[in-house]
Structure 1
Amino acid sequence: MNPPGQHYDKPALNENDLIERYIERGLIITDRNRTARYLRHIGYYRLSPYTIPFQADRTTHSFRPDTTFDDILYIYVFDRQLRLLTMDVLERVEVAVRAAVSNTMSTHGEGGAFWYQNASNYQNRRGYSATIERIEDLIRRERQHTPSDRGEQADRLHYPDALSHYLATYSSPATPPSWLVIELLTAGELQHLYASLPLKYRKIIARELDLPDQVLQSWLKTYVRVRNICAHHGRLWNRFLGVYPAIPRSPTVRWLNDRSTFDTGNPRALERKRLYPVLVSLQSILFTISPHSTWALRLHTLLEKYHDIPLNALGMKANWDADEFWQEAFEACS
């Protein structure tokens, strides 16, 4: 890639200047003070992607007639609520995967509760080394940590976290058992750990979620991407994710009754690149780990509340909720 040749010279503008820019581009502002408050506490840059569907000209960024600031805010608030709902189910699934990995490896792997210290429990040396180095680094930092003030010192004395409690209580083994270690890993590290395990163990873990190993590997990689977007308050609506979940072919995997929804024969199909297949995959796992979850109903309620949101920007069809897959999810929580 050639280095960029342009010099960035756009000036920083205050809220009033930004409002004037909106007005010059044709956006209707009904309450300047309210708009200024949102710009101050959300930011012009963060709101910019939500203005794109309302632009008449992508070069001049002029708005279509009768577009208001509230139209932009409507999508922003919807996306925020969608992000929180997505993060909610990601948490459920991530916790279940952590438990499945730790439980399976502690009872089937070599070394019991300290299986992660045994190189034979990995496909190769790279996976083993990455896990051990990460854990040793966490322990080294914990041992070197000095409370910054008396309040923190008192908190750590009376309410120690699991790692500091282990290190203060036990002299051996030098590292904690699996069920503690697994909670120290980031979602990305958990995904890499799972991928580094031998197939025989991955199959057992995936079976806990009623999935084939290859499908779970793909979904975990996608979840890390979506989780990072959510954690950084990024946009889920009208976005290509960059990493996409595998569409299961096995009839044993809970999936949409209409399996043609995502055209697996066309890798360029836009529906596959947006959020909807991720939402379907998450509900598929919920059927196993939390069969009476209200998450699907809350998703439906959110989309009903914001009924003016273009669903195709999420990769969804207007009648998405008519599929038997979703009907079963709605009924399970009633």
Structure 2
Amino acid sequence: MFNKQALTISQQINQLKKRGLIISNEALATAYLSHISYYRLGEYWYVMQSDKENHIFKPNSNFTDVVALYNFDAELRILLFGIIEKIEISLRTKLIYHLSHEIDPWWFQNFTLFTDSMALVKTLSNLQEELSRTKDESIKNHKKKHKDDLRFPPSWKSLEQTSFGALSKLYGNLKPTVKSKDVIAKELGAVNHTYLPSWLQSIAQIRNFCAHHSRLWNRNLPGTVKLLPKPPNPWIRNLENIPKQHEFQKLYVHMCLMKYLLNVIQPNNTFMQQLDNLFTAYPNVDSDALGMKPNWQQEPLWQ
């Protein structure tokens, strides 16, 4: 039976010190622990423990290093959230544009276009919920003006209200016979529909981690991705630097795919400089925990 009791901040600090964590400035530790929970910070000091069963820290483990890791991770999430926003807006635009022209503005509720009907039911149910909650004037006005039309508002209105996760599921669920599925993949540099769904799903998962302030540093990510054997756009030239299958759980390969897509969407982006600046600002952060490769900045992808 679980019988641990809640500790005061003072007790938390004393416990950490007894376990070997160096805390030279207790006032600073008190300030941090009053705003960031012990449990959340624990995700960053976990790797500093030599005995994880009894929570004993390795020699020279310092609270300031825990704080640095936490702040690095927070800034990394903010950076990636901005990158993912650009990818999300581009995907939404392409889905709306190409499928509305190939099919019609209500393609997203046409079950004949999708492989998994139950998955589409769930996507549409979530969309209906979003539309019922929205304060967006265009949706409200559409409903007032077209009371007798029982369909969703057209895609350029409806899909502006849905999430990146829902967009990635819509794209992945499209039948291969839908021409726009390949057109969108080709426009984004993914050649055909075989590769893009796994990229979008992984990026959508990372977006959710960012949105919920979850740790990215030293995290094993769920799912996997399919890499292009011969990408048409700049990629990684040094074969040693291309992530291997067992490294797909680390963040680096997913950031590479974000960069690959972003280079199409915004060719003169500063993703590499921002990421490099972040590592410069936090020199003690172990980049290997993200699966980073040696001299990653020199690869054509990151130029």
Q: Identify whether the pair has TM-score above 0.5, normalized to the shorter chain.
A: yes
Residue pair 1:248, 1:255 contacting (<8 A) in 2 also? no
Deviates more, 1:112-121 or 1:43-52: 112-121
| Pick aligned residue for 2:146 from 149, 170, 195 | 170
User: Aligned in 2, Cα 1:53/1:250: closer, same or farther, shift over 3 Å?
Assistant: same
1:42 alignment partner, one of 18, 36, 42: 36
For residue 194 of structure 2, give the secondary structure of its aligned residue in structure 1: helix
User: Structure 1 CA distance, aligned partners of 2:128 and 2:77?
Assistant: 34
1:184 corresponds to which letter in structure 2? Q
Indicate if the aligned counterparts of 2:234 and 2:300 stay in contact, CA closer than 8 A.
Answer: no
CA contact (8 A) 1:244 1:278 kept: no
**Which residue number corresponds to residue 118 of structure 1?**
110
- Greater Cα offset, 125-134 or 251-260: 125-134
**Amino acid of the residue matched to residue 173 of structure 2?**
S
Per the normalisation by structure 1, the TM-score is 0.83
- State the Cα distance separating 1:8 from its structure 2 match: 1.3
Contact 1:244–1:273 (8 Å) recurs in 2 = yes
Q: Structure 1 stretch 277-286 or stretch 21-30: which is displaced more? A: 21-30
Paired with 1:135 and 1:66, the residues of 2 have a C-alpha distance of: 51
User: Residues 220-299 of structure 1 correspond to what in structure 2 (within 5 A)?
Assistant: 220-262=200-242, 264=244, 267=245, 269=246, 271-299=247-275
How many pairs were matched up?
299
2:137 paired residue among 161, 177, 195 = 161
Residues 259 and 29 of structure 1: CA distance in aligned 2, closer, same or farther (over 3 Å): same
Q: 1:21-40 maps to which residues of 2 (within 5 A)?
A: 21-40=15-34
Aligned to 1:4: none
Structure 2 unaligned runs (5+)?
none
Partner SS state of residue 59, structure 1: coil
Q: Report which structure shows greater RCO (CA 8 Å, sep ≥6).
A: 2
In structure 2, give the amino acid aligned to 1:71.
D
C-alpha contact (below 8 Å) 2:241/2:296 kept by paired residues: no
Letter of the 1:163 partner, please give it: I
Alpha-carbon offset, residue 11 of structure 1: 1.1
- The separation in 2 between residues aligned to 1:116 and 1:239, in whole angstroms, is 34
Greater Cα offset, 181-190 or 95-104: 181-190
Aligned to 1:217: 197
1:306–1:9 distance in 2 versus 1, CA, 3 Å? same
Alpha carbons of 1:177 and 1:323: their partners in 2 closer, same or farther (altered >3 Å)?
same
Could you tell me how far 1:317 is from its partner in structure 2? 2.5
The whole-number CA distance in structure 1 between the counterparts of 2:34 and 2:63 is 14
Q: Is the 8 A contact 2:114 2:174 kept in 1?
A: yes
Match among 171, 178, 186 for residue 207 of structure 1? 186
Q: Does structure 2 conserve the Cα–Cα contact (< 8 Å) formed by 1:163 and 1:176?
A: yes
Match of 2:71 among 62, 77, 83: 77
Aligned to 2:284, what secondary structure does the other structure show?
coil
The separation in 2 between residues aligned to 1:169 and 1:182, in whole angstroms, is 19
Pairs within 5 Å for 1:135-146: 135-139=127-131, 141-142=132-133
8 Å contact kept, 2:106–2:154: yes
Letter in 2 for 1:305: A
Q: How far off is 1:214 after superposition?
A: 1.8
Query: In the TM superposition, what is the alpha-carbon distance from 1:204 to its structure 2 partner?
Result: 1.3
- Deviation string, structure 1 residues 52-104 (Cα, Å, up to 9, x no partner): 23223222222222322111101110011011111111111111111111111
2:298 aligned residue: 322
Q: Deviations over 1:113-136 (max 9, x none)?
A: 222243333335435534444444
State the SS of the aligned residue for 2:50. strand
Q: What's 1:187 paired with? A: 164
Superposition CA RMSD, Å: 2.1
| 1:302 matched residue in structure 2 | 278
Report the Cα distance in structure 2 between the residues aligned to 1:137 and 1:58, rounded to whole angstroms: 44
Deviation at 1:138, TM superposition (A): 4.3
Q: Which secondary structure state, in structure 2, belongs to the residue aligned with residue 94 of structure 1? A: helix
- The unaligned stretches of length 5 or more in structure 1 are 1-6, 146-155, 329-334
- The verdict on how the C-alpha distance between 1:261 and 1:127 changes in structure 2, with shifts beyond 3 A counting, is same
Aligned amino acid, residue 300 of structure 1: D
1:116/1:131 contact within 8 Å kept: no
Using the alignment, how far apart are the partners of 1:131 and 1:43 within structure 2?
35
Q: Which residue of structure 2 lines up, in the alignment, with residue 153 of structure 1?
A: none
Deviation at 1:187, TM superposition (A): 2.2
Contact 1:238 1:314 in 2 (8 A): yes
Q: TM-score, normalised by structure 2?
A: 0.91
Aligned partners of 1:316, 1:126: CA distance in 2, in Å?
Answer: 38
> CA contact under 8 A between 1:255 and 1:281: conserved in structure 2?
no
